[in-house]
Structure 1
């Protein structure tokens, strides 16, 4: 395999000046990730089709050399030393309807190539009147990364609509169709994230056709004249309902819901904007910790707590109290194998109430807490990957000291320790 050029569009959503250039293999990760930090890879390959992506993967596995798969770069932070191997850029795009006789009336199955921009996908489905992922508007990155992280926001997550993925597993010659159930999706988690090695080539979603062209709609059991109808979806998140000025569970037009989500994300610096350094980040840097309810009661009364279904996921952290009692890290069961009751905490609240305000930065550092949201670590211009890691360690230490909770980073980290 030879070196391939990085497509100009690879940075079109990040820096128009940089996007005018065509990079060869000496491009830095700082130019390909939304955090805008990181050194060079030894070489770069660009996969513009699923077949090419699979071919690159097979050859690299056979070669045995280290390699890194990179989509939109919104969930990856690489050290200043760079990556000691090959960088494979995922750039296969396209959306296709898939015939599926097993679907219920009004359901539509779509296949999305792994390199398709996620928010462009959401925009296309909303325009078509397909409901299911409108609350995931504005999430940066590409479609192939969505099942790895089980992305979610505002009361919706990919697990709600994912049908299957086309997956090339390490050591296998041909891709296979892998169901959503096989992926064992949990809170920002999946079998892939937990170690299943392979490459996502495409994803299949099952969405609901709420377009007037589909016929009479049913909202709360009431039929709507198709000529008067507008594609709608229920509001499932309190903050979103408040922003829309409606009751939780109310139906609003898909376009209105998408606009409200984008506005909320922008207010938190979570919509990419080259002119806004608060968006030079990897989004939420820490996951909201899931802990035993018995530990959560030891936190201040005003600490937000959210119920978690027993089967959702093992705790993402183990409290110091539990460790002292001999519990293993990430223990998920109580006595006799009975799942313990769990609650989800707000990482943003823990950070802020550990004495780390919005906009905080360590002396001399180019990295800072976002001025809009304490959950985001940002590059305020000239930050190094070391700056980001140092700030992340400081946050983890302060929250641990104040509340006995160890925060876990959400993005993939290479050559860095938090």
Structure 2
């Protein structure tokens, strides 16, 4: 073997029955442990072929590639189903987002196509899931699935397909599938006059932490948990910014505080041994979701409280309020998207980056609307 011109590490193993097979033994550049990979059997593999294969593997090792891991990965890639890709590749990346459990639940709706290889997935498979959901009844509501619910499942499958395209060269079929037209999107939001009244009632609410929370929620357009779980350390008083380290889409987000927002924050009493801005009754914990306080304020304002109604004001209405009022004041849609930290406004739009000055100007719009009419007491 030493005189055959073969790379170091090639061995010929002879079994009890006389069968001969060739191996390349080496130290894996990945694990730094001893490893071996088969080169072929005798007499099917001649010496010329043996040299060629062994030299290719040896070159891979010199380049920092483990040929056995590489070969096994290729075998797995070619047979990987949609389900395996979701669980083994997509999900570990998705767990960076807070909403990853929702994606697991949505993926269950695609059970009929989970066995399909990611390399054989087609637009027809995704549309099949859509058709199945359109003809099914939700076990939760005992009603047909809403278009918005179906769209979330379709959007997930489209995202998974794009990831497979980027990571494993699977065919890109996601762009061929269109989302359904939605007619059940929540549109509840406050008018400018109502917002002024809402801020006043919020700051007069008996629990000052809860009241200040609701006021700032409707001034910033943040998501409930993004604001409710903020710590005093998240505020930079000198630069007047509030930092959200982790948002729903996995990224960090910065809110540029207006003078009025800073005034509201400074009016909140600090609670010893509680790091949260909006301290709750339980030791070291933030306030609970302010749904009761919101209901009380709506009652004082004469606003209806009809769960499920499109125009009903909820905690999420803070985002609709900020978006609609900024738009009515001439703020471009891509600027609003940046303010609300939307990952996408639509599949065909992209958002431009804003300067700090522009972000601060946008963040002051709503404060300017109400600060001249609301007293902090």
Pair in the same fold by TM > 0.5: no
TM-score by length of 2: 0.28
Greater RCO, CA 8 A, separation 6+ = 1
Q: Which of the pair is proportionally richer in strand?
A: 1
Q: Which of the pair is proportionally richer in helix?
A: 2
